[in-house]
């Protein structure tokens, strides 16, 4: 064997000698092993730039908490809805049920999965597509278009109308058993098709499976309300809304928003995704009748511009990012200057790949959705710091809020959702043309925020 293929003891001795020759290496070792990498790489001088002071700021209600679930995309979406209810009815705070869309998302994702299985019965079981479909069919995560479909079909309800349960706060067991059921269902459908059964027989099997899935979800999450009573009082304790509503009626009455006006913008600078084009992701969705997700790809500066415009109209902005990069979680600070990992180790780690390369080489993708609620400008009028509402409770960060530096935005924000009225006429025409490029199911722009 070629000696250059192995790690030799001479190589190790040389590395050991090089390490010991630098005093900084020994100091870094002692600190990192005692306190952890991020804590030791923390740059205190950068923390001072992350103050909660903003030139544009949207005031929100009490903090929400997704607890041990991957529902950030639901929490972020509902937080952009509830502020409209608060503004429309002069409320101090308000919260919509997050267990309600969770129930319908699980049901619709199961149906989406089974439809994909019926559509791929001729695919080899050990192929990449089947591996993708079977890997995590019922995860909590999602994207804006998936949430939009749920609301258009099922509406929304106040938190009191469908409160949290043990299984909505901690979805691990629910997801585990539902995933096992779905993989078994996939096996039965594929074997039934291979045995020569008709399409009608397969559809009947799927209908029976969906009935069992509904039973599992009701046992785990409770049954979603068909209608419910509402009594809302404003900041002055005046009764401002009362009556009995269906979930769709409640959305239309209180949120007063045309969901189709709100679209997903991404910023992916990779060679396979030209700017000013729309994209969809193969086999990614939940509600079958609303189809796959869609994105318009624009330069990152365009995302900032329209996000600021919407906040200036006193409305928050849903966004998706790679949250754990350069993140001081306990302090609620996302700032590329706040953690100097490369300085700690003495060579390029975070600087080894740029934004485009991180996407191409699997180092980064959207992992979490939150809400932009403010921005601070520098002396040239450019954004410097952003205010973020997270969904990790009031004890996270600073009373539930995070800050996000503009440099971090450049590197790790991948998606925002805004009213298309803030786009240029040309950009709206591109989106409305539906000339979509379809991406592979495993493309990073198909990742789910959770």
- Whether 75 contacts 316, CB under 8 Å: no
Handedness of CA 283, 284, 289, 290 (dihedral sign): negative
pLDDT at residue number 3: 72
Instruction: State what percent of residues in the chain have pLDDT above 70.
Output: 100
- CA-based R_g, the chain, Å: 24
- Whether 103 contacts 224, CB under 8 Å: yes
pLDDT at residue number 351: 96
Which residues have a catalytic role annotated? 72, 368, 390
Residue 73: which of 157, 147, 136 has the closest Cα?
147
Residue 369: which of 315, 317, 406, 419 has the closest Cα?
317
Question: How far apart (Å, rounded) are the C-alpha atoms in residues 144 and 262?
Answer: 9
pLDDT at residue number 2: 76
Residues of the chain with pLDDT under 50: none
Residue 450: which of 373, 365, 348 has the closest Cα?
365
* pLDDT tens track for 235-294: 999 999 999 999 999 999 999 999 999 999 999 999 999 999 999 999 999 999 999 999
* pLDDT tens track for 293-327: 999 999 999 999 999 999 999 999 999 999 999 99
pLDDT at residue number 376: 98
Residue 76: which of 424, 415, 342 has the closest Cα?
415
Q: What is the length of the chain?
A: 450
pLDDT at residue number 197: 97
Classified as helix, coil or strand, 395 is coil
Q: Which residues pair with 242 in a beta bridge?
A: 231
Residue-wise DSSP of 5-36? GS--HHHHHHHHHHHHH-HHHHHHHHHHHHH-
Question: How far apart (Å, rounded) are the C-alpha atoms in residues 94 and 43?
Answer: 37
Domains of the chain: 56-446 (3.90.70.10)
């Amino acid at each position: 064997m070629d000696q250059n293929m192995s790690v030799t003891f001479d190589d190790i001795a040389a590395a050991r000698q090089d390490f010991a020759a630098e005093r900084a290496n020994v100091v870094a070792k002692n600190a990192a092993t005692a306190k952890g990498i991020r804590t030791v790489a923390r740059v205190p001088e950068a923390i001072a730039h992350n103050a909660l002071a903003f030139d544009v700021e949207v005031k929100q209600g009490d903090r929400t908490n997704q607890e041990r679930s991957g529902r950030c995309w639901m929490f972020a979406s509902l937080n952009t809805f509830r502020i409209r209810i608060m503004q429309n009815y002069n409320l101090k705070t308000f919260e919509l049920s997050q267990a309600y869309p969770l129930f319908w998302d699980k049901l619709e994702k199961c149906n989406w999965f089974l439809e994909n299985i019926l559509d791929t019965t001729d695919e080899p079981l050990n192929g990449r597509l089947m591996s993708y479909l079977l890997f995590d069919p019922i995860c909590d995560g999602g994207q804006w278009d998936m949430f939009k479909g749920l609301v258009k079909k099922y509406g929304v309800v106040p938190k009191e109308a469908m409160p949290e349960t043990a299984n909505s706060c901690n979805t691990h067991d629910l997801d585990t058993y539902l995933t096992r059921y779905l993989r078994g269902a996939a096996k039965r459908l594929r074997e039934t098709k291979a045995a020569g059964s008709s399409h009608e027989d397969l559809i009947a099997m799927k209908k029976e499976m969906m009935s069992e899935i509904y039973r599992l979800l009701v046992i785990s999450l409770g049954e979603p309300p068909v209608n419910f009573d509402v009594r809302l009082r404003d900041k002055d304790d005046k009764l401002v809304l009362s009556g009995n509503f269906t979930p769709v009626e409640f959305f239309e009455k209180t949120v007063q928003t045309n969901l189709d006006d709100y679209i997903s913008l991404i910023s992916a600078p990779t060679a396979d995704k030209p700017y000013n084009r729309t994209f969809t992701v193969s086999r990614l969705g939940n509600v079958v009748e609303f189809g796959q997700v869609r994105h318009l790809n624009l330069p990152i500066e365009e995302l900032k511009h329209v996000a600021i415009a919407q906040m200036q109209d006193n409305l928050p902005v849903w966004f998706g990012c790679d949250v754990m990069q350069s993140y001081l979680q306990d302090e609620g600070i996302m700032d590329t200057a706040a953690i100097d990992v490369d300085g700690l180790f003495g060579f390029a780690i975070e600087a080894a790949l740029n934004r485009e390369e991180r996407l191409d080489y699997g180092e980064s993708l959207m992992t979490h959705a939150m809400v932009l609620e403010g921005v601070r400008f520098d002396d040239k009028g450019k954004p410097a710091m952003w205010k973020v509402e997270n969904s990790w409770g009031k004890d996270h960060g600073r009373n539930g809020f995070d800050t996000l530096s503009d440099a971090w935005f450049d590197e790790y924000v991948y998606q925002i959702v805004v009213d298309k009225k803030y786009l240029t006429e040309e950009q709206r025409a591109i989106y409305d043309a539906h000339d979509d490029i379809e991406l592979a199911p495993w493309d990073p722009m198909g990742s789910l925020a959770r």
